[in-house]
Amino acid sequence: MAGSFAAYVDDRPADKVFRVDRAIYLDDAVFAAEIANIFEATWQFVCHESQIPNHGDYFANHLGRQPIFVMRQQDGGIGGFVNACAHRGALLTPMKQGNAKTLTCRFHGWTYGSDGHCIRIKNEETGYDPARFRRTDYDLTRLPRVEAYRGFVFACLNPAAPALVEFLGEAARFLEFIAHQSADGMEVLPGSSTYVINGNWKLQSENAVDGYHVSTVHRVFGATVARREERPGYDGMMRTESGRIAGKVENGCYDLGGGHMVIWADRSPPDTSPLFEQKDRLERDYGAAKARWMLGRGRNLIVFPSLMINDFAATQIRTFRPIAADRTEVTIYCLAPRGESKSARYARLRKFEDFFLVSGMATADDVMALEDSQTGSRGRTARWGEFHRGLDSVVHGPDAAARDGKFNPVTSNNTWDQETLYHGFYRRWKALMTTEAIGAKEAAE
Amino acid sequence: MTSAMPQMVDDRIGDGVFRVDRSVYTDPAIFETEMAKIFEGNWVYLCHESQIAKPGDYFSTEIGREPVFVIRKKDGGIACFLNACSHRGAVLTPFKQGNANVLTCRFHGWAYASDGTCIKTKNEESGWPAETFDRSCFNLTPVACVESYRGFVYGSLNADIAPLDAFLGASRAWIDLLVEQSTEGLEVVPGSATYTIRGNWKLQAENSVDGYHVSTVHRVFAATISARESKAEYTGIKKTESGRITGSVPSAAYDLGNGHMAIWAQHTTPEVRPIWERKDDLERRLTPAQVKWILTRGRNLYLFPNMMLMDNPSTQIRVLKPIAADRAEVTVYCIAPKGESQKARIGRLRKFEDFYLTTGMATSDDVAALEDCHDGSHAALSRWNDFNRGMHAIIQGADEDAKALGFTPAACTHNWDHETLFHGFYRHWQALMNRDVPARPPRPGANGKGNGSRNGSAR
């Protein structure tokens, strides 16, 4: 099977051709291979550390099809486990997120400590031959790899995967631009919203860093917000930078390597940002160049394959769980600097609701656009998805803004309208799809 | 269908290991093989004879993926046909269950008698040359085998199988324990409930004879019933034995062979059971062992692959219809001895509603547990399902109880918490999955009348 997907990415730089067969959004075999070679074989975001601050706090998620959970340990570390009772496989966490010093299976009452040890088997004494029974045989299965980078917790089913920081590469710098926004760290705010799109997960990954669609798909958002803000009461942080949406500011995009991508645009004006109140501290602690990246520029980041972090009007973590070739579950969290002022938090939340939340004015338009792409991709006589925009202006390596920010992209481009950042995404995709995966099945042997 | 299955069952009793790869619940390819080799290659339960009592009474269901219907013929026999018009394949029965002396296709009006004979093709004279037309070419296709064991009707699409008696084997003694409760026989009480579970059919099969989960999953049921029955008006057969659910009564688990399984647990207060009113009659007619089993032992019987027969607080037929690897449809019927007193019937129905019905207090908890198992089974890193419990206590062949009642199980243990009965289920499952079955025959053409049939009808 490996190798047969290579032809789906038509990557001929010398001929100035970069296009992708739209079958990658439709084909069940592609989807199955993505689950095995990408989602069950590379690092995947699980949760933010602020979601599991105390001993016994757990957070359940999936790595591809694999149900897993992470749990804060007594020593403050993070344990990662397969979310299946060692007995008959029932899910162990009653909820997506919660606190439990011990997890008791709801089927037959087997109980596990937060370190994964099996500590109770119902009617153990009448069930097994004491001479050969060892309760430790029934400890939970640990995930091969769990690591955190600046509060972002990742897990991986491949025991031989590189260290998380190596996987993140240049994207680590962009996680830093978020994590350093408060000296006390960042926190995921309570509440989340989950929705299912009738589209492939890659369309959502593309959409996340597609600057080109903003002035089309979100023009109604831009117009509505501009109109609203003519009324009194919309001052300072309560304003949204509708100028940016209209595309009148400096912006750009980067292929960060490893499939990670980012777009950015200047905030216009920067004092509309809830973070503006920390301008002096940021410049003092991190210098003007890094502060400019943290505060002066809005950023959308995709950590390959499906973690999206936005820092534009508000700050957001968005994760995509692939369900089927044509079905993706999206979950949205608001992320905020700990200890920000009440007015900053208030403004952040209102702008989060405005744009990012499922009931906001942007998400519904984005979903329409990407579901249209999914449907249109079925027109197989028009085989290729087009990623040529910006081929003539692409810069290999860093541009001036990247050098300022001390990161080293594979390519830079001069506007966020350009599509050259996707070349890195699909090259990474192709590389993974054409090698033998070491994931869940192999690790189980 | 000759593809060999990978070995999913790790059966090393000598090493104290019996485990099953959890992908048996989740893998669509395994599901397709199960359809061809198990459900379409062997006996499956279709319906109870009381549901098709009179000539023309029909009951439509499926054998694997194929629609079929069972119909009572004029001569009193039972026939079973593929539920597809010979013309363009439309399903012929307008309802799941009903009465029709003639079944008329709703598409082009072709009509069939209850013996499957095509008796009318609309505008026949203008459609075919009279000299070559043979309407009998369009008779319905009978399924290969139909047999009834004491009212329980089975069918098979595959003719190359053992007779029903041999297939049911040791489980017949357990079926008899229900049938013998009335000299007039059993009846399925009108009405049924159907629900869909987001889980594999085998998880429902396991659940039905899993004594170990009762004190965990159904503790809320037990607590609720106890609280309710502390009220004055709950006396006699209105009571449910919640003591049994919390455990600590004699019990046992049987591997009955051919994939059939059963558990029983002692009733602490048998006099609250609807059957108690028949004690004298039972003692007059039946052996002491049968009377003991009927009156004092609550029993769950699983008949491979698609039926469960319960006689605990109430009596139930539960039918399983696999839809996909992760989807199964379950239908619940109350079955009762004909001629029981009104009081006993009311007690039986209320207890049926309490525990077994979809809206009852047990089914939803069971469904939650087995759906949790289905979701958790996707975790390939935790590959094996564990069925080791009770392995130290296995009794091979008949124990004293089985000898007294007159059946010979493959094995048993004297604790319904034990999981060794599932060994029989999965050994049979693996054997069938490894066995080749004849390919399903092509649909009959103008000059063929379907596959060779052993009898095509029963009685």
Q: Where are the domains of chain A?
A: 44-147, 170-433
The verdict on B321 and B187 lying in the same domain is yes
Does A444 score more than 50 pLDDT?
yes
Could you tell me which chain B residue has the CA closest to the CA of A88?
B385
Give the pLDDT confidence score for residue A438 in this predicted structure.
64
The verdict on B284 and B328 lying in the same domain is yes
Average pLDDT value for residue range B38-48: 97
Does B285 score more than 90 pLDDT?
yes
- What integer best gives the mean pLDDT of chain A? 93
Other CB atoms within a 10 A radius of the CB of residue B244 amount to 21
**Domain harbouring B256, CATH code:** 3.90.380.10
Give the pLDDT confidence score for residue B258 in this predicted structure.
98
Element (H, E) at A68: strand A66-72
Does B254 map to a domain? Answer: yes
Q: Looking at chain B, how many residues does it have? A: 459
Q: Who has greater pLDDT, B65 or A1?
A: B65
The verdict on B260 and B215 lying in the same domain is yes
**Domain harbouring B119, CATH code:** 2.102.10.10
**Vertex B169, ends B22 and B396: CA angle to 5°?**
65
Could you tell me if A284 lies within 8 Å of chain B, comparing CB atoms?
no
The verdict on B242 and B385 lying in the same domain is yes
Within 8 A of A146 by CB-CB distance, chain B residues are: none
Q: Which two tokens stand for residue A313?
A: 């009007």
- Give DSSP secondary structure letters for A323-375: EETTEEEEEEEEEEETT--HHHHHHHHHHIIIIISTTSTTHHHHHHHHHHHHH
Cβ–Cβ < 8 Å for B157, B41: yes
Query: Which of A86, A88, A444 lies nearest to residue B380, judging by beta carbons?
Result: A444
Ranges of H-type helices in B76-170? 124-127, 164-168
Could you read off the pLDDT of B302-356 as tens digits, one per residue? 999 999 999 998 999 999 999 999 999 999 999 999 999 999 999 999 999 988 8
Cα(A386)–Cα(A368) distance, integer angstroms: 19
The verdict on B420 and B285 lying in the same domain is yes
The verdict on B221 and B138 lying in the same domain is no
Q: Which two tokens stand for residue A410?
A: 């594979």
Does A160 score more than 90 pLDDT?
yes
Within 8 A of B375 by CB-CB distance, chain A residues are: 67, 91
Best to test chain A binding among B378, B384, B418 (most A CBs inside 10 Å): B378
Question: Which strands make up the sheet holding A97-99, listed edge to edge?
Answer: A78-82, A66-72, A57-63, A97-99
Could you read off the pLDDT of A214-260 as tens digits, one per residue? 889 988 888 888 888 888 888 877 787 766 665 678 999 999 999 99
Query: Would the CB atoms of A128 and B391 count as touching at under 8 Å?
Result: yes
Could you tell me if A384 lies within 8 Å of chain B, comparing CB atoms?
no
Which residue range(s) make up the domain with B48?
44-149+443-458
Give the pLDDT confidence score for residue A230 in this predicted structure.
86
Average pLDDT value for residue range B418-425: 98
Does B291 score more than 60 pLDDT?
yes
Does B243 score more than 70 pLDDT?
no
Within 8 A of A91 by CB-CB distance, chain B residues are: 372-373, 375-376
Query: Which of B206, B377, B392 lies nearest to residue A84, judging by beta carbons?
Result: B377
The verdict on B93 and B217 lying in the same domain is no
The verdict on B198 and B122 lying in the same domain is no
Q: Who has greater pLDDT, A227 or A173?
A: A173
Could you read off the pLDDT of A263-312 as tens digits, one per residue? 999 988 888 899 999 999 999 999 999 999 999 999 999 999 999 999 98
Interface of B with A (CB under 8 A): 16, 22, 25, 206, 212-213, 215-217, 247, 368-369, 372-373, 375-383, 385-386, 388-392, 415, 417-418
Residues sharing a CB contact under 8 Å with residue A242, sequence separation 6 or more, in sequence order: A222, A225, A226, A229
Q: Which two tokens stand for residue A409?
A: 């992209």
Q: Which two tokens stand for residue B367?
A: 């469904």
As for how many domains chain B has, the answer is 2
- What integer best gives the mean pLDDT of chain B? 91
Give the pLDDT confidence score for residue B448 in this predicted structure.
38
The verdict on B123 and B174 lying in the same domain is no
Class of domain A170-433: alpha beta
Query: Would the CB atoms of A129 and B391 count as touching at under 8 Å?
Result: yes
Does B82 score more than 60 pLDDT?
yes
Cβ–Cβ < 8 Å for B59, B96: yes
Residues sharing a CB contact under 8 Å with residue A262, sequence separation 6 or more, in sequence order: A171, A174, A209, A253, A254, A256, A299, A300, A301, A302, A421
In CATH, the architecture of A44-147 is 3-layer Sandwich (2.102)
- The torsion region of residue A372 among left (phi > 0), alpha (psi -120 to 50) and beta comes to alpha
Could you tell me which chain A residue has the CA closest to the CA of B381?
A444
- Give DSSP secondary structure letters for A311-324: ESSSEEEEEEEEEE
CA atoms within 13 A on the CB side of B254: 30
